[in-house]
Structure 1
């Protein structure tokens, strides 16, 4: 059986990045946007990353422009925004689609493993979060309204 760490994704520079780089770690995978009402969650995501990184935890952010065109920038603009505004140090990857025919295979796999409300696989908005255990299995999906600090107990349980 394959896990999400068997996939490759595109880094912010467009080059392929193998997710097996994070094999054996607890991951929080998030679709993000820099002009969204939930954008301040970058601060909470960074706090979680700094709190748990040494114990084998990583946040992986995937900018997405599919919801209200709230991520219009290119990779350099997104990286600059994340760094300067929220002091983000976790990886922010290339902008992707999370829904539709062009959806990135990573998000197709995440959505299939952890459907949303009433079994819906569609991502409803920016800052939908997926928690992945050390074996690469998706264990939980969180709504955009769920603040990162509310995930601490679930993360600790997996570390």
Structure 2
């Protein structure tokens, strides 16, 4: 398979738009309850802790720890030539909040290793947030 155009996230969804807006400014954010401060992950417009319908997006450090990863050896989309590695990280500032990322090839990884956000602009309206090993010096 040849290289194709990667699918892009829907950035206008009311529950996740704040994340994508912050990404354009090279910020990582989490959805929080404006009343009690609980982190709402997966993002949603209702806080189950205090029953508030008022949420906001809070900036957090663009750092994380690697939780898990897997290497894809079978190509399922032309935009993602194999091998590639799918990573799952947990944000340093928000234990329990996990985000996904993509790395080319088969990088040397270990559980718990420091990761940092890397931002890639895809056109005028979408900036993707990815996670790379901290020693690689991603664009923060």
TM-score, scaled relative to structure 1? 0.28
Q: Kindly indicate which of the two structures has a greater share of residues assigned to helix.
A: 1
TM-score, scaled relative to structure 2? 0.30
Query: Which one has the largest radius of gyration?
Result: 2
Question: Greater relative contact order: 1 or 2 (C-alpha under 8 angstroms, separation 6 or more)?
Answer: 1
